């Protein structure tokens, strides 16, 4: 069965330090991977996606993610965290079984807390 795991419920980082939010996946075939961010009492906002090509994907607000096929991971990164990056982050993978219907499978979310 296809799945997405975000092993950390919360990540704490000091402002100005690099941040990483982890995501691992399990799919059959080539994965389509996504990151979303959710600010309090808001809907999800699309950050970036990996479909094919370069393993390092750049997205909105200075975020990037690295696709690693051998480790089945798609970790979200930012070189220098801001307090305003504090939010809930979701990793997702396209559900390709039994076919590509456009459905996504979401991880449980990771709360990022950036402290001044």
Partner 1 sequence: DVKVTQSSRYLVKRTGEKVFLECVQDMDHENMFWYRQDPGLGLRLIYFSYDVKMKEKGDIPEGYSVSREKKERFSLILESASTNQTSMYLCASSWASGANNEQFFGPGTRLTVL
Residue selected from 36, 63, 67, 74 as contacting partner 1 according to rule CB under 8 A: 36
Question: What is residue 53's three-state secondary structure?
Answer: coil
- Which residue bears the tokens 């799945």? 3
Q: Is 82 in the site for partner 1 (CB under 8 A)?
A: no
Residue selected from 28, 41, 98, 116 as contacting partner 1 according to rule CB under 8 A: 41
Residue selected from 42, 58, 69, 115 as contacting partner 1 according to rule CB under 8 A: 42
Q: Is 96 in the site for partner 1 (CB under 8 A)?
A: no
- CA 85 vs CA 17, 70, 71, 111: distances in Å: 12, 29, 26, 10
Q: Is 116 in the site for partner 1 (CB under 8 A)?
A: no
Q: Is 34 in the site for partner 1 (CB under 8 A)?
A: yes
Q: Which of 96, 79, 92 is nearest to 23 (CA)?
A: 92
Q: Is 10 in the site for partner 1 (CB under 8 A)?
A: no
Q: Is 31 in the site for partner 1 (CB under 8 A)?
A: no
Question: What is residue 61's three-state secondary structure?
Answer: helix
Residue selected from 51, 60, 61, 62 as contacting partner 1 according to rule CB under 8 A: 51
Under 8 Å between Cβ of 39 and 87: yes
Name the residue nearer to partner 1 (CB basis): 63 or 90: 90
- Tokens representing 36 are 């979303």
């Amino acid at each position: 069965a296809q799945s997405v795991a975000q092993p950390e419920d919360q990540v704490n980082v000091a402002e100005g330090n690099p941040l990483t939010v982890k995501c691992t996946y399990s799919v059959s075939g080539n994965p389509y991977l996504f990151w979303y961010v959710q600010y309090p009492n808001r809907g999800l906002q699309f950050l970036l996606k990996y479909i094919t090509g370069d393993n390092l994907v750049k997205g909105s607000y200075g975020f990037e993610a690295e696709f690693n096929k051998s480790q089945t991971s798609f970790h979200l990164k930012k070189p220098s965290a801001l307090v305003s990056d504090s939010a809930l982050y979701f990793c997702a993978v396209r559900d390709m079984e039994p076919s590509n219907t456009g459905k996504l499978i979401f991880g449980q979310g990771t709360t990022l807390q950036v402290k001044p």
